[in-house]
A = this chain, B = another copy of it.
Amino acid sequence: MSDKPRVLIVEDEAQIRQFLRLALAAEGCTVLEASRLADGLTLAGDGGVDLVLLDLGLPDGDGIDFIRAYRGWSDGPVLILSARTEERHKIDALDAGADDYLTKPFGIGELHARVRALMRRRARSGVAASPVVEFGEVVVDLARRLVTRRGEPVRLTPIEFRLLAMMLAHPGQVLTQRKLLADIWGPSYVESSHYLRVYVGHLRQKLEDDPTQPRHFLTETGVGYRFQPGS
C-alpha cells in the first residue's frame, strides 16, 4: 500500500530545501515543502505525511513548539536538522518528541541512512494496523484525509480536519482548551477559546446525527472537549 513515502520538509533557506528535495526524491519519496512553521503545520495537518524533516532555526517561531503541536495528533517520525550543536538544544528537541537530531553540515549519505532507519521503524510499528477510525456513521481515513458519513464524503477545512485528527488521537480523553488551542492555532492563542466553540460547532454540524445533542464531541464545561468513540 504505502508506495511512495511522503516527506515534509520545513526549512527556510531555499537552497537547502532544494538540496533536501533532490536527495529525498532520489530515495523515491514524494516531497512537500514549507518555509515557515505555520505552513508546515498546515501541510502536516492535511495528513498523509510519513516523515517530517524540520530545521530548528526558523525565523517565525520555535521549532520545539512545532514538535509539540505535531505530537498532539501524530506519532509520525520527526528528524531535526539544525546548525546548533549545543547539547542542550538536542536534548530539548528529542524530549519534545523528535526522533533524531542531525547537526549541519551533514553528509547526504548519513541523511539517507537515518531517513531509511526511521521509515523502517514506522513500517514495522503497525502503521498498517488501522489508519481508519469509525464512530457513529462516520468513517475517517486520517492518512488519506478522507471523511465520509453514511457513505457520503464530507468536506472539512484544514482547521476542522486538524481538530478532528487531534480529538480522534485521544479517544475518551478530555482535551483541555489550552492544549487544543496551543496545538492547532499556536501557543499564543491559548486564551482564544471562542475559536473552539466555533469549530467544534462545525464538526458537530457536519458529523453528528443531531448537532444539538452531540454523542461524540462532548463538552466538558470549563475544561475542554472529549471525543467519545463507539456506536
Chain A residues in the interface with B (C-beta under 8 A): 75, 87-88, 90-91, 94-95, 97-101, 107, 109-110, 112-114, 116-117, 120-121, 124-126, 143-146, 157-158, 172-174, 220-223, 226
Contacts and interface: CB of A to CB of B under 8 A. Distances in A.
5 contacts: A87-B107, A87-B110, A91-B112, A124-B125, A158-B223
Nearest to A220: B145
Contact of A110 (B90, B107, B174, B222): B90
Contact of A117 (B87, B99, B112): B99
Contact of A172 (B99, B144, B157): B144
B114 A94 contact: yes
Contacts of A120: 97
Contacts of A98: 117
Given A75-B124, A144-B174, A220-B145, A87 B109 contact: yes
A217 to B, nearest CB: 15
Contacts of A116: 94-95
Contact of A221 (B87, B90, B109, B157): B157
Contacts of A220: 145
**Consensus secondary structure, chain A interface:** mixed
Contacts of A95: 113, 116-117
Given A99-B117, A125-B126, 6 more contacts: A75-B124, A94-B110, A94-B114, A124-B125, A145-B223, A146-B172
A112 B92 CA distance: 11
A100 B90 CA distance: 14
Contacts of A172: 144, 146
A172 B144 CA distance: 7
A81 B220 CA distance: 48
A185 B79 CA distance: 36
Nearest to A93: B113
A125 B121 contact: yes
Contact of A90 (B97, B113, B174, B223): B113
A152 B219 CA distance: 17
A90 to B, nearest CB: 5
Given A91-B110, A99-B121, A117-B99, A173 B144 contact: yes
